[in-house]
Structure 1
């Protein structure tokens, strides 16, 4: 069974079980879009799955457990047990995922900052640009660029 058909079957089961009409699920989705999903003519986006789950007062994982159960000819309990084991085997069952991407400067930016600091330190010690270039193994033009920049 395709995922699209499994989703359609799970959605119809849940909606009718809750005594709801397609219109009751429509929110930002149109009734015709809900109908197309329920008839297996289209697949819902992730946002639509979340919205449908909210309308059904159901966690999205519960909805997807029913979808996977229908597709795999299992029970939702079996699917959730497998999912729990999978997450446990990857040591992710009790891990909270950070949503913010850690900002790290590009390695070249880090290297340039380090070079600038070395040039500035030697400049403060009274070295000339030519002396710094020889000591650090840099081109004099690179030393000049860092010479005129501060922290």
Structure 2
């Protein structure tokens, strides 16, 4: 399972769609760090990813879906259906004695 777009591309797409500059993230990261993320030089931790998503006002899964499905809503629908099936199977398996 490979990401069609990178996480870096997804961050940049959402940031620009929201009309945010890299400086808008100053409460959670530096402009230099944001630039490094968007150039795919660094990868955020889960905690940092959550903070960035709070600034962009999107759920972290939205960001990851964009990274994996690209800008195709059809592919996003397929990906989310796949995730739902996996979650249901995992939760069902967990409940089996």
Q: How many residues align?
A: 87
The CA RMSD over aligned residues, in Å, is: 1.9
Unpaired segments of 5 or more residues in structure 2? 93-97
CA distance in 2, matches of 1:79, 1:20: 27
CA distance in 2, matches of 1:25, 1:82: 32
Q: CA deviation at 1:25?
A: 2.4
Unpaired segments of 5 or more residues in structure 1? 93-151
The runs of 4+ residues in structure 1 deviating greater than 3 Å are none
Q: What's the secondary structure of 1:27's corresponding residue?
A: coil
Residue pairs, 1:1-151, within 5 angstroms: 6-70=6-70, 75-91=75-91
Flag the 1:47–1:81 CA change in 2: closer, same or farther, 3 A. same
Q: CA deviation at 1:90?
A: 1.4
1:19-59 C-alpha deviation (Å, 9 max, x unpaired): 11011123221111011000111111111110111001111
Based on CA coordinates, which of the two structures has the bigger radius of gyration? 1
CA contact (8 A) 1:26 1:34 kept: no
TM-score if structure 1 supplies the norm length?
Answer: 0.52
